[in-house]
């Protein structure tokens, strides 16, 4: 193995593997160190996202939604079904195949781009030097590099009151691998991860209770959409209890007993068959660098960086979940591309104001830019345009008419400041908003853009018209 490279990347998640590929495309001799292996002990690139996060969760969300629709949602279409059965093992096997295909695809891209993939642990020793410990050994090798990119990703936050046992009490990884459907499932945390996992198992037959410490539901999302989403999720059978702080967990006789303080500070107890701890993620910076390297971290364990993802050490960069900003795969990937281009002498760029967020529940929720509460807090004068999917012909035709599109535009310039979508295809529809805002579009620009009929995207068009109170297919207020 070569001991010297132009670039060494530590971590092969969406930030790290994308950075490695772009570096190689730019003619840089690149190595990528990653310690992830699959259930058979084979190297599996892609980090948390591809292995136990974004991809497997979306596979189960899709499968569970199809099962739920076939079992109980097709009668109004004139399709009657009987004897529908769940084969959870087959569903899990499909998920595993999808993960395998994608991780193998990254391995193929590494070969195509002549990236040296190293399976094991990587550690920053000092500027220009990385320690590599091959998996299965304790002997550290030293690799030199002109540039080093730190992209070790993140891991689930542990909760002292609810220690994991890998069986009855699990984190998000364990919740994606259940071999049977829990009769009653408890989830600590009603954020993105908790809601998506809860949706999967509710559709498959679990009674799901989510305990959320915050009193405000989905505080990072627009308040109007979050309130509507809470009602929809309750109608679907998700029991979401806000302002609940877990104080202790006990397991006995294949059951989990959860003690918590409710919103009125009253002591309550919840009994479930399995418990998922989904209270967020923390950066994987423990042991990332030796003390002598003097890599600067903040009080929460994130790597300190400047606006170009440079650390306090020369030619050492950090990207993805270990730096400031949302822990989103696409954000990390864009940082990886930007850093690679900067290393190659090009002007890499990431617009942190226009990173879309998506909640893959049913219906989906997506947003980009600022919310009403943020604009009010900043004293920005704005106008609002919204359009409900209940007035969309395409949404009604496909039987997905819950939710709305909401557009916020500056009162003086009409420039779009934020777009918030709750409804069918929100994860895809938000891309139009991101593109429009990237070009500095006004709500009038969207209003004068022709949208095909009948489509879900017409809801975005109508919301833009509504900013100026001239929506066609609803009453303007």
Catalytic residue positions, numbered: 453
Coil/strand/helix, residue 72: helix
- The two most distant CA atoms of the chain are separated, in Å, by 71
- Check whether the bond before 363 is cis (ω within 30° of 0): yes
Degrees to nearest 5, angle at CA 43 with 39 and 45: 105
Alpha carbon distance 152, 395 (integer Å): 41
Residue for token pair 């998640």 = 13
Alpha carbon distance 160, 348 (integer Å): 41
Q: What is the secondary structure of 261-275 as a DSSP string?
A: E-TTS-EEEEEESEE
Q: What is the torsional sign of CA 155, 159, 165, 167?
A: negative
Degrees to nearest 5, angle at CA 338 with 332 and 344: 140
Q: What is the secondary structure of 36-97 as a DSSP string?
A: -B-TTS-B--SHHHHHHSHHHHHHHHHHHHHHHHHHHS-GGGT---------HHHHHHHHHH
Residue for token pair 């591809």 = 50
Q: Are 317 and 148 in contact (CB under 8 A)?
A: yes
Alpha carbon distance 320, 328 (integer Å): 8
Alpha carbon distance 338, 105 (integer Å): 22
Sorted by sequence, the CB contacts under 8 Å of residue 401 that are 6+ apart come out as 388, 389, 390, 392, 395
DSSP 141: E
Nearest residue to 361 via CA among 410, 270, 276, 425: 425
DSSP 156: E
């Amino acid at each position: 193995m070569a001991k010297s490279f132009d670039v060494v990347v530590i971590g092969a998640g969406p930030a790290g593997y994308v950075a490695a590929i772009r570096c190689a495309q730019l003619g840089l001799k690149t190595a990528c160190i990653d310690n992830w292996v699959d259930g058979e002990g084979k190297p599996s690139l892609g980090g948390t996202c591809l292995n136990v996060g974004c991809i497997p969760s979306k596979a189960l969300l899709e499968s569970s939604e199809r099962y739920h629709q076939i079992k109980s949602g097709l009668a109004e279409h004139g399709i009657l079904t009987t004897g529908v059965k769940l084969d959870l093992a087959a569903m899990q096997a499909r998920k595993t195949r999808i993960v395998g295909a994608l991780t193998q695809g990254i391995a193929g891209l590494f070969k195509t781009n002549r990236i040296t993939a190293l399976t094991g642990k990587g550690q920053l020793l000092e500027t220009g030097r990385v320690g590599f410990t091959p998996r299965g050994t304790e002997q550290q090798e030293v690799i030199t590099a002109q540039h080093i990119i730190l992209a070790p990703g993140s891991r689930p936050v542990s909760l002292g009151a609810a220690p994991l046992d890998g069986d009855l009490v699990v984190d998000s990884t364990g919740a994606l691998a259940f071999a049977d459907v829990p009769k009653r499932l408890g989830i600590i945390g009603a954020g993105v991860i908790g809601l998506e996992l809860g949706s999967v198992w509710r559709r498959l037959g679990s009674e799901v209770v989510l305990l959320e410490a915050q009193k405000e539901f989905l505080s990072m999302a627009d308040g109007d959409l979050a309130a509507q989403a809470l009602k929809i999720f309750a109608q679907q059978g998700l029991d979401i209890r806000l302002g609940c702080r877990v104080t202790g967990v006990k397991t006995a006789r294949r059951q989990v007993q959860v003690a918590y303080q409710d919103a009125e500070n009253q002591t309550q107890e919840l009994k479930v068959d399995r418990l998922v701890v989904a209270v967020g993620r923390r950066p994987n910076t423990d042991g990332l660098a030796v003390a002598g390297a003097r890599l600067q971290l903040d009080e929460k364990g994130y790597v300190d960086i400047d606006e170009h993802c440079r650390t306090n050490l020369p030619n050492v960069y950090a990207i993805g979940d270990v730096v400031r900003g949302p822990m989103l795969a696409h954000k990390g990937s864009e940082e990886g591309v930007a850093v690679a281009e900067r290393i190659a002498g090009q002007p890499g760029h990431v617009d942190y104001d226009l990173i879309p967020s998506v909640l893959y529940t049913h219906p989906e929720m997506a947003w980009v830019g600022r919310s009403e509460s943020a604009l009010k807090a900043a004293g920005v004068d704005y106008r609002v345009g919204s359009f409900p999917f209940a007035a969309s012909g395409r949404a009604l035709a496909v039987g997905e008419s819950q939710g709305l599109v909401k557009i916020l535009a500056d009162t003086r310039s009409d420039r779009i400041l934020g777009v918030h979508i709750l409804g069918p295809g929100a994860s895809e529809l938000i891309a139009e908003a991101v593109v429009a805002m990237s070009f500095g579009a006004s709500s009038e620009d969207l209003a004068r853009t022709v949208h095909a009929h009948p489509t879900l995207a017409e809801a975005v068009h109508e919301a833009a018209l509504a900013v100026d109170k001239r929506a066609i297919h609803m009453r303007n207020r």
